[in-house]
Amino acid sequence: MTSFTMEKTTVTSTDGDLRAGIWVPDNSGPRPGIVLVDGSGESLYDDWGEWVDRYVGCGAVVMAHDKPGCGGSPGDWTTQSFEDRATDSLAALATLRAHPSVAGQPVGFLGVSQGGWISLLAAATDPSGPDFVITMSGPAVSPAAQEYYRIKTTLTAAGFAAVDVGEALAWITERTSRLRAGESPESVLAAQESYADRSWYAMTTEYLDSAEVLGFVARIQDFDPVPLLPRVQCPVFGAFGGADNLVQADESMQAYLQHLNWEFGNQHALAVFPGANHGLFTAAPDPAIPRTSQLAPGYLPMVAGFLDRIRERYTSSTLSG
């Protein structure tokens, strides 16, 4: 395990100053910088657990920040759009880039799940911003399509009968349509609660059981990441789990292959790890086994190798410029 020092800082956002932290490896010399971009739901800068250790171990300075309204930070993430989240991520990137631990080194995003959409959007919005993007289980389909897939595969894997899966998916389709048509989240929530006696209800509506969250879903559900891909002017590493029942790994890989800009010399990397789930783990947690050892073999070495290549490319272009 690489030793490091954590420094508390803040990220200036439209909501105010968000709590943040920067983890700096104790080894000498500036290192590439990674801004962690979290997925759906609440997010605290100091709640990334062992992921900080893992990415510091890949040779990076790591930064994370609260979502608005979490951990005492101002604002409310449920009122945000993806564009708002991208703006916050770019502000975090600027904060990290100004830190002496990354002086003269490339700085980019590592987006997890929904954070993959945000990272690509931020990179496409500001092509001069990130020097690279890493997406971990970041779908290349819309949130609505990803949610439909998640419910279908989750209920099927849990052993629900086909008729129950069909009824749940019918509600998901109806909910998407009603939110798209502009119906109030409160009204849609009331309609959803009429299914509370169904066997599939708890699993289907988990995390989506408040008007605030449904309002957030209404704003993001038709976001299309595909048009962003050719606009991303930096190297991208997309990592997917072959056994991910939340994200369409094959479809996302095909979109990356087809739509990323492969012509201007970027060193993109794509990988699907067989048997790995949404978190890129290949087995359920076992208290007797270090969780990191259950990560897909090759994932962390690929992150480290990708960062080394970006660093070499960045240094060469800086010297030639």
Give yes or no: residues 191 and 237 share one domain. Answer: no
Q: What's the pTM value of the predicted model, to 2 decimals?
A: 0.93
pLDDT at 263: 79
* 9-24 pLDDT tens trace: 999 999 999 999 999 9
As a 3-state breakdown, the chain gives helix, strand, coil percent values, each rounded to 5, of 45, 15, 40
Give yes or no: residues 73 and 99 share one domain. Answer: yes
pLDDT at 315: 73
Contacts of residue 132, defined as CB under 8 A and 6 or more positions apart, other chains included, come to: 106, 108, 109, 234, 235, 236, 237, 306, 307, 310
Q: Which of 200, 220, 240 is the last residue of a domain?
A: 220
pLDDT at 93: 98
Name residues of the chain where pLDDT drops below 70. Answer: 1, 264-265, 316-321
β-bridge pairing 33-37 and 16-25: unpaired
Question: What SS3 state is found at 42?
Answer: coil
Which residue range forms the structural domain that includes residue 67?
Answer: 4-142+223-320
Please list, residue by residue across 275-312, b when 16 or more beta carbons sit within 10 angstroms of its beta carbon and e when fewer do: ebbbbbbbeeeeeeeeeeebbbeebbebbeebbeebbe
Give yes or no: residues 165 and 288 share one domain. Answer: no
Number of structural domains (the chain) is 2
Give yes or no: residues 268 and 138 share one domain. Answer: yes
Give yes or no: residues 10 and 47 share one domain. Answer: yes
Q: What is the mean pLDDT of the chain?
A: 94
Give yes or no: residues 188 and 237 share one domain. Answer: no
Question: What are 34's strand-pairing partners?
Answer: 62, 108
pLDDT at 319: 52
Give yes or no: residues 35 and 129 share one domain. Answer: yes
Tokens 């819309």 locate to 142
Residue 89 to residue 13: CA distance in whole angstroms: 9
DSSP structure class, residue 66: P
Residue 213 to residue 154: CA distance in whole angstroms: 20
Give yes or no: residues 240 and 211 share one domain. Answer: no
Q: Do 79 and 214 meet the contact criterion of CB atoms below 8 Å apart?
A: no
pLDDT at 33: 97
Q: Which of 184, 203, 220 is the last residue of a domain?
A: 220
pLDDT at 28: 73
Give yes or no: residues 112 and 42 share one domain. Answer: yes
Residue 94 to residue 142: CA distance in whole angstroms: 28
Q: Which of 220, 238, 256 is the last residue of a domain?
A: 220
Supply the CATH number for residue 291's domain: 3.40.50.1820
* 106-150 pLDDT tens trace: 999 999 999 999 999 999 999 888 999 999 999 999 999 999 999
Give yes or no: residues 215 and 98 share one domain. Answer: no
Question: What SS3 state is found at 160?
Answer: coil
Other residues' Cβ atoms within 10 Å of the Cβ of residue 136: 25
